[in-house]
Structure 1
Amino acid sequence: MIISEASDDGTNDGHGPENTIDGSFDSESRWSSEGDGKILLLDLGAEATATQIKTAWLNADERTAYYEVEASADNSNWVTLISNGQAEGTEELVTDSFDPIEVRYFRIIGRGNSENLWNSLLEVEVHGCGGLDQPPVQPSGPPEIGDLDPSQPPSENFDLSRWYVSVPVDDFDPNGRADNIKEDDLNDGFELPGYFYTGDDGAMVFKVGPTGFKTSTNTSYTRVELREMLRAGNTHIDTQGVNRNNWVFGSAPASDRSAAGGVDGNMRATLAVNRVSTTGEDYQIGRVIVGQIHANDDEPIRLYYRKLPDNTKGSIYFAHELNGGDDTWHEMIGSRSNYASNPEDGIALDERFSYEIDVKGNLLTVFIYRDGKPTVTKSVDMSQSNYDEGGQYMYFKAGAYNQNNSGEEDDYAQVSFYALEVFHD
Structure 2
Amino acid sequence: MKMIKKQHNLVLGLILLSIGLLNSCKDQVKTNTNKVNTVIKDTIKVKYANSVIPFFDNWKLILGDGSNAGIANNFENKDFFYTTNDGKTDWVVFKTPNGGDTHGTSNNTRTELAQIKKWYPKTANDKLTATLKVMNVSATGDARVAATHSVVVGQIHSADAFENEPLKIFYKKYPGHDKGSVFWHYEINTAGDDNSKRWDYSSAVWGNDFSVVGSDANTYPEQPKEGIALGEEFTYTIEVKNGIMNLTFTSPGHETKTFTKNIIQSEYTTVADIPEQTKQLFFPKGQDGVERPEAYTGEGCFFKLGAYNQTNGKSPDVNKNWCSGAQTHNGDIAKQYADGNYAEVWFKTASISVSDAAVSNEGYFTKND
2:165 corresponds to: 299
Does 2:247 align with 1:366? yes
Of 225, 236, 254, which aligns to 2:112? 225
Question: Could you tell me the TM-score, scaled by structure 1's length?
Answer: 0.53
**Which ranges of structure 1 fall in alignment gaps of 5 or more residues?**
1-148, 170-177, 230-244, 252-256, 258-262
How many residues are aligned here? 238
1:166 equivalenced with 2:82 (yes/no): no
1:333 matches 2:206: yes
How far residue 150 of structure 1 moved from its aligned partner, in angstroms, is 9.6
Choose between structure 1 and 2: higher strand proportion: 1
Corresponding residue number in structure 2 for 1:394: 301
| Alignment partners' CA distance in 2, 1:398 and 1:412 | 17
Q: Distance in 1 between matches of 2:253 and 2:150?
A: 25
Alignment of 1:270-419 (within 5 A): 270-282=131-143, 283=145, 284-295=147-158, 296=160, 297-324=163-190, 325-335=198-208, 336=210, 337-339=212-214, 340-382=221-263, 383-384=265-266, 386-390=294-298, 392-406=299-313, 407-409=326-328, 410=336, 411-419=341-349
Show the counterpart of 1:247.
119
Shift of 1:388: 4.7
Post-superposition CA distance 1:186-234 (Å, at most 9, x none): 11x1110021000133200011111111111x211000001111xxxxx
Query: Would the alpha carbon gap of residues 298 and 388 (structure 1) be closer, same or farther in structure 2, given more than 3 Å must change?
Result: closer
- With the length of structure 2 as denominator, give the TM-score of the two structures: 0.61
The structure that has the greater radius of gyration is 2
In structure 1, what is the Cα distance between the partners aligned to 2:183 and 2:82? 27
Alignment-derived partner of residue 81 in structure 2: 196
Q: Secondary structure at the match of 2:51?
A: helix
Query: Are residues 418 and 199 of structure 1, via their aligned partners in 2, closer, same or farther at CA, if it must alter by over 3 Å?
Result: same
Q: Secondary structure at the match of 2:50?
A: helix
1:378 Cα deviation from its structure 2 partner: 2.0
Change in 2 beyond 3 A, CA 1:152/1:359? same
Once the two structures are TM-superposed, the CA of residue 394 in structure 1 deviates from its matched residue by 0.9
1:424 aligned onto 2:354: yes
Pairing 1:213–2:101 present:
yes
Q: Which amino acid aligns with 2:201?
A: T
After superposition, the C-alpha distances for 1:108-132 in whole angstroms (9 at most, x for unaligned) are: xxxxxxxxxxxxxxxxxxxxxxxxx
Query: What does residue range 21-32 of structure 1 map to in structure 2 within 5 Å?
Result: none
Give the superposed CA RMSD: 1.9
Q: Is contact 1:150–1:199 with CA below 8 Å preserved after alignment?
A: no
Q: Give CA deviations for 1:21-44 in whole Å, capped at 9, x if unaligned.
A: xxxxxxxxxxxxxxxxxxxxxxxx
Q: 2:28 corresponds to which residue?
A: none
**Long gaps (5+) in structure 2:** 1-43, 191-197, 215-220, 267-290, 314-325, 329-335, 356-369
Distance 1:190 1:400, change over 3 A: same
% same residue? 30
Structure with higher helix content: 2
SS in 1 for 2:352: strand
Alpha-carbon deviations, 1:222-272, whole Å to 9, x = none? 00001111xxxxxxxxxxxxxxx31111x2xxxxx5xxxxx2321110000
Shift of 1:347: 0.6
Matched position secondary structure for 2:229: coil
2-side partners of 1:308 and 1:272: how far apart? 16
Is contact 1:150-1:198 (8 Å) kept? Answer: no
Aligned twin of 1:83: none
CA positional deviation for 1:343 = 1.8
Runs of 4+ aligned structure 1 residues displaced above 3 Å come to none
Relative distance call for 1:150 and 1:319 in structure 2 (3 A) is farther
Cα 1:150–1:367 change in 2 (3 A) is: farther
SS of the aligned residue for 1:373 comes to: coil
Deviations 1:55-96 (A, max 9, x none): xxxxxxxxxxxxxxxxxxxxxxxxxxxxxxxxxxxxxxxxxx
Deviation at 1:374, TM superposition (A): 2.5
Judge conservation of contact 1:248–1:264 (CA < 8 Å) in 2.
no
Residue 366 of structure 1 and its aligned partner are, at CA, apart by 1.6
Instruction: Give the Å deviation of 1:380.
Output: 2.0
